[in-house]
Structure 1
Amino acid sequence: MPPAYAGQPKLSDREINLIRLWIAQGAKWQKHWAFVPPKRPQPAQVKKRDWSRNPIDHFILSRLEQEGLTPSPEADRNTLIRRVTLDLTGLPPTPPEVDAFLKDKSPNAYERVIDRLLQSPRYGERMAARWLDAARYADTNGYQSDGVRSMWRWRDWVIDAFNRNMPFDQLTIEQIAGDMLPHATREQKLASAFNRNHRTNAEGGIVPEEFRVEYVADRVQTTSTVWLGLTVGCARCHDHKYDPIKQKEFYQLFAYFNNVPEKGLVYNFGNEEPFIKAPTAEQEARLKDLDKKILVAEQKFAALQPELAKTQRAWEESLRQSPAVDWSVRDGLVLHYPLEGFLVAGCHEGRPVIGGTPDCELPFVTGKVGRAGNFDGKRFIDAGDVAGFNYQDPFTLAAWIYPTAPNGALMSRIEDFPQGEGYGLYLKDGKVRLHITKRWTDIGLRLETANTLELNRWHHVAMTYDGKRKAAGVRIYIDNEPQKLTVLFDELTWSIDYRAPFRIGAGEGPENRFHGIIDEVRVYNRALSPEEVAVVPILRDCFYTSRKEKLGPG
């Protein structure tokens, strides 16, 4: 034994004798010991009966007597308070606490110390420390550069749960599925962050699905370790060698966590979606105070409405008697190209200037307002080192365009070859498209309008980006109308290094040069509101000259 064909070594004499002994004892078969319900045993029999103060002492003394040992002397009061304080709070007692205990001669002095320690906030921290370790708590993501993330609000929930002596069944339910409870409170949703403590990977080049599966397996293993006390992870690749867990059962547990809409490649500088607002108690009080002040301000503002309406009518009447007003938005304007004059084209470096040379002259024609640049698919404007927005910077791009071809760059700050690093606003098959790219294959944001715009006519195009890394924060407007967008890629997780100038009519290679007319290019260092976007195209010839003089060349 085992049979020769198995190719395994013969059992040792010791192993054979163990089997014989088991048979001689009746060969009793039972379930795995860990799954046999425990039964309360009778206190062990001891010789020195007056030593024990509780049933547990009987078992300790019984083993000491079995080994021929005697109990150690009772600890003195200094030692006792030090032990219990370290045990319940993880910190030594303060000198005043020791003095107070030594002076307390009442029979329940020790019990009072324990009650005081159990009421201390340090008790919850002490109890939570081991739980946090088992739950793999960390305020970083654990992989590669170990990017920062914020999980401390869940940590505080655990500490508070221990300090409130939350029942274990409630502690279990809220951490495993608090967000799925009917009418879940914010605190219950916070509790379920137990399942978001896993490591997350932002490394470029990974296979996202591989790591999404890894996150699911991590949850199975951690949940099983914490609540079942089993190394279920051993059954990920095969039936468990020691515990009664089959590989099939591992994947039955796996299925519970495999419906989480999660990505394998995550953001490396903060938490990954979904988010919830989780103010602390102090912040909550401050927010309530601010809400009250806002309500008072709104009431005061409402009382002013009749007077405001009267003043509004008077102001509107005064405008009819005055010269035309410049409605253009200037707050946050970092780049403005009216394109009223002759500029050096992109074959020269530096800011465009009045004039030009015969080989690099950009033609100007009648524009939407005054003159405009006429782009032939070859020439472009090099605006230099401006508008270097990074991936967490909000910005707005806007211009009047008269496209004669369905493809071409409107404006960009991107390398001049396909799939380069930077950002750009383009026409692609007649659709307005935005690229914000760190690395084309896996780090960037790309989206486009669902509908095409009509060629050979004027359109005002504006794009706003809120700086929050997601396609949901992008708006594209055509002729003041917000467009339905198609998200092509949505993984903007890293900062951009700019090695190219801001260009008008070019970006991502010669094949992306613009064909048509561009007028009134504006770039803002913030995301304009829809109301502001509607104002940007409102321009009037009668005030144009004075405005151009104030803004300078271009």
Structure 2
Amino acid sequence: SLFALAGAALRQTAAAGKAEPANLDTDPHLAGWWKLDDASGTTAADASKHGRNGTLGGGLSFDKDSVAGRVGKALKLDGKAGIIEIPGYKGVSGTRPRTVAAWIKTKSSRGEIVTWGLEEFGKMFIFGFVRGRIGLVPSGGYLYMNDPVNDDAWHHVAVVVEEAERPNLHDNVKLYKDGEPATIHDIGLLDLWPVDTGDKLDLRIGRRFNGLIDEVRLYDRALSGEEIKALATQRKSK
């Protein structure tokens, strides 16, 4: 029947829509994956294929700052000098699409999760707290979600910059909380703020962050909502 044909076509379309890599752990666009499960020392291994290992600084070490995480272990930061830097890696620069995702647990409402770029208008990429909420600061503008996450519970947070010739905060950036699209706090004029990230600073994780960070991922493509949800519902540590 016509209905059966339509149903088959829909199923086919749905299947075709899932042509993207099924495994987000082996996705060729996974640019860096810091599980922070390391047992000791001051090197945060990169679980992607790129070997972009991080260096713990400011007195941080896995020996004393590793705690139970959302998946395996996590790293506890004090909001002061502690930081992870990826020597020589400048992140995803220019206007290229990207996704940053991480698990966080904090009572604080300040600090950065992942940062890179150049300290000029539109050239920074700071994913972390903005005015007490999780958001993105490209320098000169900012975007943040309405819902708080500083309740000392685990939350999965992500930011996606979509493919665009000249991406801006209003049209091309999405925030996610616990696998769902976050409601954006509307400050207006967001389309004036470009995302055109510089490539000067080494990527850093956890600057001035007070709390736990786990499973930091960077992709050089825009993950779909379903893919973000898959990351946010990954198995808990046993």
TM-score by length of 1: 0.34
Q: Note closer, same or farther for the CA distance 1:480–1:357 as it changes in structure 2 (3 Å cut).
A: closer
Question: Would you say the 8 A contact 1:345–1:382 is kept in 2?
Answer: no
Q: 1:450 to 1:479 in 2, by over 3 A?
A: same
Deviation for aligned residue 1:528: 0.6
Does the Cα contact within 8 Å between 1:327 and 1:536 map onto a contact in 2?
A: no
Distance 1:463 1:370, change over 3 A: same
- Bigger proportion of residues as helix: 1
Match of 1:500 among 185, 191, 201: 201
Q: Which residue of structure 2 lines up, in the alignment, with residue 361 of structure 1?
A: 61
Matched, 1:340 2:37: yes
Please state how far the C-alpha of 1:334 moved relative to its aligned partner.
0.7
- In the alignment, the residues of structure 2 paired with residue 379 and residue 351 of structure 1 have an alpha-carbon distance, to the nearest angstrom, of 16
Are the structure 2 counterparts of residues 419 and 300 from structure 1 closer, same or farther at C-alpha, using a change threshold of 3 Å? closer
**Which whole-Å CA distance do the structure 1 matches of 2:155 and 2:10 have between them?**
39
| Bigger radius of gyration among the two | 1
CA contact (8 A) 1:391 1:492 kept: no
Question: Using the alignment, how far apart are the partners of 1:532 and 1:433 within structure 2?
Answer: 19
User: Can you list the C-alpha shifts for 1:105-155, whole angstroms capped at 9, x where unaligned?
Assistant: xxxxxxxxxxxxxxxxxxxxxxxxxxxxxxxxxxxxxxxxxxxxxxxxxxx
SS state at 1:389 partner: coil
The 8 Å contact of residues 430 and 452 in structure 1, kept in 2 or not, is answered as: yes
Match of 1:286 in 2: none
| Cα deviation, residue 300, structure 1 | 9.1
Using the alignment, how far apart are the partners of 1:389 and 1:328 within structure 2?
18
- Residue 17 of structure 2: aligned partner: none
**Structure 1 residues 220-259: aligned runs within 5 Å:** none
The structure with the greater share of residues assigned to strand is 2
Identify the match of residue 191 of structure 2 among 466, 482, 490.
Answer: 490
The corresponding residue for 1:398 is 101
CA distance in 2, matches of 1:530, 1:464: 10
Give the distance between the partners of 1:399 and 1:494, measured in 2 at CA.
Answer: 20
Question: Shift in Å at residue 329 of structure 1?
Answer: 4.8
CA distance in 2, matches of 1:304, 1:480: 25
- Residue segments in structure 1 that go unaligned for 5+ positions in a row: 1-298, 309-325, 507-512, 545-554
Aligned residues of 2:57 and 2:85 also touching (Cα < 8 A): no
Determine if contact 1:327/1:539 at 8 Å carries over to the other structure.
no
Report the Cα distance in structure 2 between the residues aligned to 1:448 and 1:473, rounded to whole angstroms.
Answer: 14
Instruction: Flag the 1:495–1:539 CA change in 2: closer, same or farther, 3 A.
Output: closer
Q: Distance in 2 between matches of 1:387 and 1:480?
A: 27
Indicate how the Cα distance of structure 1 residues 358 and 428 shifts in structure 2: closer, same or farther if over 3 A, else same: closer
**Amino acid in structure 2 at the alignment position of 1:367:** G
Instruction: Give the C-alpha shift of residue 474 in structure 1.
Output: 1.2
Q: What corresponds to 1:413 in structure 2?
A: 116
Tell me which of the two structures has the higher relative contact order, counting C-alpha pairs closer than 8 angstroms and 6 or more residues apart: 2
Note the residue ranges of structure 2 that are not aligned, 5 or more in a row: 15-21, 45-51
The TM-score, its normalising length taken from structure 2, stands at: 0.74
| Alpha-carbon contact 1:414-1:420 (below 8 Å) kept | no
How far 1:536 moved relative to its partner? 1.1
Shift of 1:485: 0.8
Cα distance change of structure 1 residues 407 and 345 upon mapping to structure 2, 3 Å threshold: farther
Distance 1:502 1:303, change over 3 A: closer
Shift of 1:388: 2.8
Counterpart of 2:147? 451
Report the AA paired with residue 77 of structure 2.
F
Alpha carbons 2:117, 2:198 under 8 Å: kept: no
CA separation of 1:360/1:448 partners in 2, compared to 1, >3 Å: closer, same or farther? Answer: closer
**After superposition, where does 1:106-145 map in structure 2 within 5 Å?**
none
| Separation (CA, whole Å) in 2 of partners of 1:358 and 1:427 | 20
Q: How do 1:35-50 residues align onto structure 2 when only pairs under 5 Å count? A: none
